[in-house]
A and B are shown apart, each in its own frame.
Chain A
Amino acid sequence: MATAAARDTAGSRAFDARADADDTADHERAFDAAVAADERIEPRDWMPDAYRATLVRQIAQHAHSEIIGMQPEANWITRAPSLRRKAILMAKVQDEAGHGLYLYSAAETLGTSREELLDKLHTGRQKYSSIFNYPTLTWADVGAIGWLVDGAAITNQVPLCRCSYGPYARAMVRVCKEESFHQRQGYELLLALSKGTPEQHAMAQDAVDRWWWPSLMMFGPPDDESPHSAQSMAWKIKRHSNDELRQRFVDICVPQAASLGLTLPDPDLKWNEERGHHDFGPIDWAEFWDVLKGNGPCNEERLSRRRRAHEEGAWVREAAAAHAARQTNGETGATRA
């Protein structure tokens, strides 16, 4: 809930520009006070245009990531090596579609529509997480995605449960519960491989080697190259900096890798007693920017598959709309054009 002041001023509309400016200043003060007091901003509350735009961008990108993120995992549904693993993977991909739906709904509370956002995704005007531009080459990649990619996502998303925008924060509470479950399943999948045959162990190690660095890149550019960070933190959309979250993730993963019996592909990775954190090697930011620009291994494939599903499904959506309209008008099939 925003403060009472924000709500009161929302009711009084001034007619001249001077009064409008005063009005906006009042709104801004009320908004800032609500954010400072850790109150939730709700859809009907006044909010700065830039706050709205930042949230639409971030929530949409998050929703798109859930939808594109189905592809690398769905890639293994038909080849899962046991019926139990197949059921787990199907359930997970289904959850991701559900997360996409929650998030599009949250974005729609800001005055946009799912159709508009999907169109921006399909035309490349909005991004999705760069991690999903990497290929799933073996079954172990499904485990590495669960452990590392979902692990990084959770590290990013748990603070978002306290985000200043209410609908986003509430969506995150639901998403995080399911993500934690997926993360444990991924870990357990890798553990089974790591303790399995030498071939299975090698498969697990190879997957971790390939997914480790891209997972660290999920936290975004370093703090001094992150253009939106300061404003997002002031608005309490973000609660921690990219580098802080990345460090937290590394510190969590190191002991987990040890208990998995797998190594992390970083010769510089070591405990720093003084900092109370692990030091780690330099991230290849050139690769990060390149993947973000569309030059990753799967950018083209992911986007064109998404577009194809949408285009090939157009006649189905049109049929549903035509049928619904006819039902509303009480017509029967005989009147079909």
Chain B
Amino acid sequence: MTTTSAKDTAATAAALALGDDALVLSHRLGEWAGHAPVLEEEVALANIALDLLGQARVLLSMAGDEDELAFLREERAFRNLQLVEQPNGDFAHTIARQLFFSAHQYLLYGELASGDGPFAPLAGKAVKETAYHRDHAEQWTLRLGDGTDESHARMQRAVDALWRYTGEMFQPVEGVDVDWTGLETAWLEWTGEVLRRATLTVPEGPRTGAWTAGAGRQGLHTEPFGRMLAEMQHLHRSHPGATW
């Protein structure tokens, strides 16, 4: 009994962490609608946002009621990585965030899909979507990195700026039974290779800071996140108990 419930609690917490990652990044990508640099990217970014929202809905539903969890929790109760809550910035920042996160998600879901844990069914479907997201981010990293001088400079700036949020992705999440060290090694190798092909420099700075090491998973977020939630939750909170 005790063992089972501890396991359930861990699984619920893990579903929340992975679900919040997908929910928050989906929201950020949704902010691009109507602003993308080219029509094809309106379609692509919305497509990725929808995939992530689909994953979030499955994961949050494993942890409770999806809408209560999305709309009625306060900032300190969210368990997403700080990386995914970072503002969109310019297109290069959005692509760097996508590159880092989708490469992580691809490896994580790949491993979860091959196991028999509670996340295996979701991961089996999600890993296919994530392969597409990763490919999209990789292609744009190459285009921007190895494009014009301006795009190269912007892409390098974006990679440098977001690098310090990448260590957090490999802080073990209780209830997610994978080889975290192995994931991190594979991630560093793949990401480094893409950055080099894009003629970019792999940043030398630390991949965690005093405030980023495992912080999002503990409900410690960055300032832009509170405003993002205020916008996301405002309507739902204005009509307590209503159904939509």
Contact = CB atoms under 8 A, between A and B. Distances in A.
Interface stretch (B26-34, B129-137, B169-177, B186-194): B26-34
A323 interface: yes
Contacts of B70: 83
B36 A81 contact: no
Nearest to B61: A83
Interface string B7-49: 0000000000000000100010011011111111111001101
A94 B147 contact: no
Contacts, number: 155
Contact of B242 (A78, A84, A197): A197
Given A94-B42, A319-B151, A336 B50 contact: no
Given A78-B30, A90-B33, A318 B151 contact: yes
Contacts of B66: 83
Q: What range describes how many residues of A lie at the interface?
A: 35 or more
Interface stretch (B78-86, B117-125, B138-146): B138-146
Contact of B146 (A77, A199, A336): A336
A101 B33 contact: no
B29 to A, nearest CB: 9
Contact of B34 (A71, A101, A200): A71
Nearest to B232: A78
A186 to B, nearest CB: 13
Secondary structure of the A side of the interface? helix
Given A81-B239, A83-B57, A139-B235, A316 B144 contact: yes
Given A79-B235, A82-B236, A98-B43, A196 B243 contact: yes
B198 interface: yes
Interface stretch (A17-25, A249-257, A307-315): A307-315
A337 B149 contact: yes
Interface string A75-93: 0011111111111001101
Contacts of A29: none
B199 A81 contact: no
A67 interface: yes
B148 interface: yes
Nearest to B237: A81
A192 interface: yes
Interface of B: 23, 27, 30-31, 33-43, 46-47, 49-50, 53-54, 56-57, 60, 66-67, 70-71, 90-91, 142-152, 154, 198-199, 231-232, 234-236, 239, 241-244
